[in-house]
Amino acid sequence: MAHGNRIVRKLYLVLSIAIIGSGVFFFFFRDKEGPALKVSPESPSVSLRPLTVELKDEKSGLRSLQIVLIQKEKESSVITRQYPDRPRQVSENFALDPSMLTEGAFTLRLKAKDGAFLGGNASEVELPLTFDKTPPVPTVLSRTHNMRQGGSALIAYSLSEKPSRTGVKVGNREFPAYRQPSGNYLCLFAYPHDVERADFQPMIFAEDLAGNLGEGGFYFHARSGRYRHDRLNISDQFLNAKMPQFRNEVPEAQTPLDIFLMVNRKLREKNEGDLHRHGANTATSFLFDGAFVRQPGKTMATFGDRRSYFYQGKQIDNQIHLGVDIASFVQSPIKAANAGRVIFAGFYGIYGECVIVDHGLGLQSLYGHLSRIDVGEGQEVARDAVIGLSGATGMAGGDHLHFGILVSGVPVDPIEWWDPNWIKNNVEDRLADAVSGQ
C-alpha cells in the first residue's frame, strides 16, 4: 500500500504542478484584449459614401460586431453580425441609411467581441460624427474666360463650404485651386494641347470632408490651335554624340538608335509625367508680377510643333514639342523669366541640365539643355536673375534654351505669358475678382 500511496502522491504532485502551471499559463497568456477596430475613411464628417470597418483579433478570433447610430437620443441599428468561424480579421462595408439620419451631429457606436472564454472580450468605440449630404456649391466670380488650345486661364470662385479638394477638371486632368486670404479660390488651368475642342469642357469641382462632390460649369470661349509640322533628321553623328548620356536611363537599349527611340518615347513620357509632381510643389499665391521676359535669341521651334523624326530617310518617330526653343550664342546667360522660387535644379532626362522655377498657383517655368546651373533648389529668384548658361545637354542637337511654361504640370504655350495685355486681361483682372468677389 505504501508503494501505491507513493504513486498517488506523485500523481497528485504532477497534477498540482500541471494545474498551477496551466493557471500561470492562463494568467499570463489569457486574451484580455477586445478586437482592434478601425473605421475608414477617417473623417469627422460623413456622407452617404460607404464606410469600412476593419476588425482584428489575432489571439481569439472575432465573435460579433454591432454598429448602432445615435442621433437626438434615438438609436438605430446599422449592422449586427455573428462570426461562428471566429475569423482573425474581418472587413465590413456599410452605408448610412439617410432615412435614419438628419444632417448634423450624431454618434456611431461600434461594439465588437472576440472568441475568448466567458463570452469574449468586448471593444467599444464611440465616434462623434457629423452627417453631411450637401455638396459644396461653387459661385464663379470671374467673367468670360477666353482660351486657346494649348493656352492658360485663371478662374476665381467662392464655395458654400470649405472643401477637402477643389479645382478645375478637364477630362481626367485636375488643376488644383488655391484658397486666397479673401476666402475665395483661384485656379489656374489649361486647355491642354492634346484635347480636341469638342472634348474641352472644363468644370469646377469641390469635394467636402464627408466626400460630397459638387460640380459647376462656367462661361468660357475656346478656340482650337493650329500647329506647325516639323521634320527632324536624326544623323549618326547626333546619335553617337548625344546618346551615351542616356545609357544608364535605358540600360536595355542596344544601339544608339535604340537609345534614341526609348528616350524619345518612354523617357520623354516619364519626364512629362513627373512634371505633375513638381506642379504640386507650388506657392498658394502668385510670386510674380507682370509679363514674363522672353530670353533674347532666335525662335527655333514653337509650342505644339508636330515633329516627325527621320533616320536614313525613314520616319522613325513622332512627338509634340511642348516648349519654345530659343538660340543665340553658345553658353548665353539664361535668366529667370519672372520672380519665383527654384523647385528643381539638376539633370532631368530629355531636358538635360534643367531648372524649374515656381511662380505660384501651379505656374512654373522650365529651362532646359543648360551647360551650367547657377542656382539651387529652394532659392528665390528675381526676374532677370541669371540661373545658368545655355547648352546642349539632354535631347538637344545644338546650343539652345528649351523654355517651357507649365500649369500644374501641363505644358502650355509661353507666348501668352510674354504678352503684357494677355496678363492684364487674363490674370491681373482675375486676381482682382478673387479679392473683391465682383
Task: Judge contact between 162 and 146, C-beta under 8 A.
Answer: no
CA–CA separation, 383 vs 288, rounded Å? 8
Measured from the CB atom, is 173 or 402 closer to Zn ion?
402
CB of 269 to Zn ion, least distance (A): 16
Nearer to Zn ion, 176 or 323 (CB): 323
Please tell me the number of Cα atoms within 13 Å of 141 on its side-chain side: 22
CB of 271 to Zn ion, least distance (A): 12
Least distance to Zn ion from the beta carbon of 307, Å?
10
Give the containing element (helix H, strand E) for 14: helix 2-29
- What is the closest distance, in whole angstroms, from the C-beta atom of residue 399 to Zn ion in the complex? 12
Contacts with Zn ion, 402-421, as mask; x by CB under 5 A? x-------------------
Candidates 24-32, 271-279, 316-324, 378-386 — which segment interacts with Zn ion by CB under 5 A?
316-324
Bond into 333 cis (ω within 30): no
Q: Which of residues 150-189 bind Zn ion (CB under 5 A)?
A: none
Q: Tell me the closest approach of the beta carbon of residue 351 to Zn ion, in angstroms.
A: 8
Q: How far is the CB of 247 from Zn ion (least distance, A)?
A: 22
Grid look-up 462595408 returns: 93
Closest approach of Cβ 396 to Zn ion, in Å?
A: 7
**CB-wise, 178 or 367, nearer to Zn ion?**
367
Segment lying near Zn ion (by CB under 5 A), choices 99-107, 124-132, 309-317, 397-405: 397-405
Per-residue buried b or exposed e for 93-113, using 16+ beta carbons within 10 Å of the residue's own CB: eeebeeeebeeeebebebbbb
DSSP secondary structure string for all residues of 96-120? --GGG--SEEEEEEEEEEES-STT-
Write down the least CB distance from residue 225 to Zn ion, Å: 17
Looking at beta carbons only, is 116 or 354 nearer to Zn ion? 354
Q: Which is nearer to Zn ion, 197 or 306 (CB)?
A: 306
How would you class 289 by CB atoms within 10 Å of its CB: exposed for 0-12, middle for 13-18, buried for 19 or more?
exposed
Number of helices and strands (H, E) in the chain? 6, 31
Binding mask 368-387 for Zn ion (x = CB under 5 A): --------------------
Pairing of β 324-327 and β 306-311 = unpaired
Nearer to Zn ion, 110 or 350 (CB): 350
Rounded-to-integer distance, Cα 14 and Cα 351, Å: 80
Instruction: Let me know: does 78 contact 91? Beta carbons within 8 Å.
Output: no
Taking the least distance from each CB to Zn ion, the nearer of 175 and 367 is: 367
Compute how many residues bind Zn ion; rule: CB under 5 A: 3
In total, the chain counts a number of residues equal to 438
Select 47 or 365, whichever has its Cβ closest to Zn ion.
365
* Residue whose C-beta lies closest to Zn ion: 402
Choice between 53 and 396, CB closer to Zn ion: 396
**Letter string b/e over residues 207-234, b meaning 16 or more CB atoms within 10 A of that residue's CB:** bbbbbbebebebeeebeeeebeeeebeb
Q: How many angstroms separate the CA atoms of 331 and 370, rounded?
A: 8
Q: Which stretch binds Zn ion (CB under 5 A): 156-164, 200-208, 315-323, 419-427?
A: 315-323
Binding mask 273-312 for Zn ion (x = CB under 5 A): ----------------------------------------
Q: How far apart are the first and last CA of the chain?
A: 109
Q: How far is the CB of 55 from Zn ion (least distance, A)?
A: 56
CA distance 147 to 170: 13
Of residues 319-358, which lie at the interface with Zn ion (CB under 5 A)? 323, 325
Footprint of Zn ion on this chain (CB under 5 A)? 323, 325, 402
